[in-house]
Amino acid sequence: MQESKSSITFEVTGGTPLKGEITPQGAKNEALQILCAVLLTPETVTIHNIPNIRDVNKLIELLTDLGVEVKKISADTYSFTAKHVNLNFLETPDFKQKAAALRGSIMILGPLLARFGKAKMPKPGGDKIGRRRLDTHFLGFQRLGARFNYDADDNFYEIDASQLQGCYILLDEASVTGTANVVMTAVLAKGKTTIYNAACEPYLQQLCLMLNRMGAKISGVGSNLLHIEGVESLGGTEHTMLPDMIEIGSFIGMAAMTASEITIKNARIDQLGLIPTIFQRLGIQLEFRNDDIYIPAQEHYEIEKFIDGSILTIADAPWPGFTPDLLSIVLVTATQAKGTVLIHQKMFESRLFFVDKLIDMGAQIILCDPHRATVIGLDRTYPLRAISMTSPDIRAGVSLLIAAMSANGTSIIRNAEQIDRGYQEIDTRLNALGAKIKRI
Ligand SMILES: CC(=O)N[C@H]1[C@@H](OP(=O)(O)OP(=O)(O)OC[C@H]2O[C@@H](n3ccc(=O)[nH]c3=O)[C@H](O)[C@@H]2O)O[C@H](CO)[C@@H](O)[C@@H]1O
Ligand SMILES: C=C(OP(=O)(O)O)C(=O)O
C-alpha cells in the first residue's frame, strides 16, 4: 500500500523532458463507487484494476472495519464479501474519524440503507475546493421513503427506512456521488424508480453495468434518465475498473508542458468524452494508435480561437461536458502555450486560488474572480521559475507538479499527500520516464 506519512514533500528538479510509455491506473472515482457497492450483497464481488491510492486504500480499510471480508488476490485485484456487516461499527469514534477522511465514503449510505434499512455518516472529507453540499443525496433517499436526521452539533447524518418504495425522482442537481447513492438505494427498493437529471459520467455507467451484472434492473445507462426496477436481492460478480480519465488528461498536459514524447497505453479512448478534444484545442498534437495516445515532443503549441475569432473559453459541465477535475491541469498547460484562454470553473468556488503559486513562478494569469482565470501563454519565451509551495488539493497538486517539472531549478511541493490521494506512485512512475522527483 502507498505510504501514509502525514506530511509528504516532493523535491522536483525541472527542465528535463520525459520519454517513454505510461499505463494509467484504474479510475479513482469509479473505484470509490464500485467499492461501496460491494455492501449491497452477501456474495463475493471480485474487482480488478483497483488503483493503489490513499483514498481507495482508506475506503478498503473502512469496509474491513465494517466486517467485509477483503482478500487481496494480486497487486490490483481484491475480492470482497459483505456477508456479516457489523453496523455497530457506525457507532464508534473510529468510524467517525475514518469516514470523515475522504469524500467517497459518503457512498456507503445508499447500500447500507437499501440492505439494512439504516445508515449514518459524519460529514465526509475530500478536497477543500468550495462548498460541497449533500442535499441531492438526502433528498433522493427521502423520496424513496427514508427518514433523515442531521445532527448539526455533531455533524452527523442519519437515515433509516422500514420500507423503500420506488418513485419518480428529479434530482436537485446532477451530482456524481449523489446519483450513485440514489441508484444503489433504488435497486433494492420496491417497484419502479425513475431518476431524471442523473449524472452519467463513465464512473456511473460502470457502476450501473456492474449492478446489472449483480441482478439489478437498470436501463438508460449513459443518459440522464435512468429507469430502475427494484429487485429482492443482488448477487456476486466480477468487475474491472476503466483507466483513470483524469490521470490520462494529467499526462497529456504534463507531456505538452515539458515538451515530452509520451505514449499513454490502453487509454480506452472511447470513454474519454471531450478530454482529448479540449487538449487539442490548446494546440497539443495527439495521435491515436489503436487504444494508445501518442503525444509527440512539441516545442510550441498554439491555443485555438473560437470560429468568430474570440478568446477560447474552457468550462466544466456535468458529463458529457468537460470534467471540473481537469480544469486545473488545462490551466497550467496553457501557461506555456501560445495564445490566451479563459478558464471558467463553474462548479467549485475555491479551486482556482492555486494560480497565485503559478504567478509566483512567472506565469501570466489574471484571476478574474473565484471562478474564472485568464491565462496568457508564454510560448516558452521563458521557463517558469522553481519555487517552494504547498499543494492545496489533489488536482492543483498535480498541476503544481507539472509546473515544477517544466521549471528551471528545483521546486518543493509540500502536502504532496494530496497528490497521493489520487495518483498511484506518481514519483516512481514519472521517474521511470526521466522525471526527477524525490519524495522527502
Ligand atoms: C469522489 C468523487 O466522485 N468525486 C467527484 C464528484 O464529487 P461530488 O459527487 O462530491 O460532486 P457533485 O457532482 O455532487 O458536485 C460537485 C459540485 O458541482 C456543483 N454542481 C454539480 C452538478 C451540477 O449540475 N451543477 C453544479 O454546479 C455542486 O453544487 C458541487 O459544488 O464529482 C465532482 C464533479 O464532477 C468531481 O469534481 C469529484 O472529483
Ligand atoms: C475533487 C476530487 O476528489 P474528491 O471528490 O474525492 O475530493 C477529485 O478527484 O478531483
Ligand 2 centre to CA of 244 (Å) is 13
Catalytic residues: 127
Instruction: Give the chain's domains with CATH numbers.
Output: 10-25+243-439 (3.65.10.10), 28-240 (3.65.10.10)
For residue 207, give the nearest of 38, 7, 433 by alpha carbon: 38
pLDDT of residue 3: 44
Is residue 283 within 8 Å of residue 295, measured between CB atoms?
A: no
Residue type, 413: I
Q: Is 369 exposed, middle or buried (0-12, 13-18, 19+ CB in 10 A)?
A: exposed
Q: List pLDDT tens digits, range 86-120.
A: 999 999 999 999 999 888 999 999 999 999 999 99
Task: Please state, in angstroms and rounded to a whole number, the distance separating the CA atoms of residues 215 and 127.
Answer: 34
Q: Which residues carry a binding-site annotation for phosphoenolpyruvate?
A: 28-29
CB of 265 sitting under 6 A from ligand 2: no
Is residue 300 within 8 Å of residue 379, measured between CB atoms?
A: yes
Model confidence band, residue 72 (pLDDT cutoffs 50, 70, 90): very high
117 backbone φψ class: left, alpha, beta (φ>0; ψ -120 to 50): left
Q: List pLDDT tens digits, range 258-286.
A: 999 999 999 999 999 999 999 999 999 99
Residue 2: pLDDT over 50: no
Q: Measured in whole angstroms, how far is the alpha carbon of residue 23 from the centre of its chain?
A: 17
Q: Quote the cell numbers at residue 167.
A: 418513485
Regarding beta strands 365-369 and 147-151, do their DSSP bridges make them parallel or antiparallel, or are they unpaired?
Answer: unpaired
Is the pTM higher than 0.95? The answer reads yes
CB of 118 sitting under 6 A from ligand 1: no
The complex scores an ipTM of 0.99
Phi, psi of 366 (to 5 degrees): -110, 120
Residue 73: pLDDT over 90: yes
Contacts of 411 (CB under 8 A, 6+ apart): 11, 12, 14, 386, 387, 388, 389, 400, 403, 404
pLDDT of residue 1: 44
Q: Quote the cell numbers at residue 123.
A: 460529514
Ligand 2 centre to CA of 56 (Å) is 12
Q: List pLDDT tens digits, range 139-191.
A: 999 999 999 999 988 889 999 999 999 999 999 999 999 999 999 999 999 99
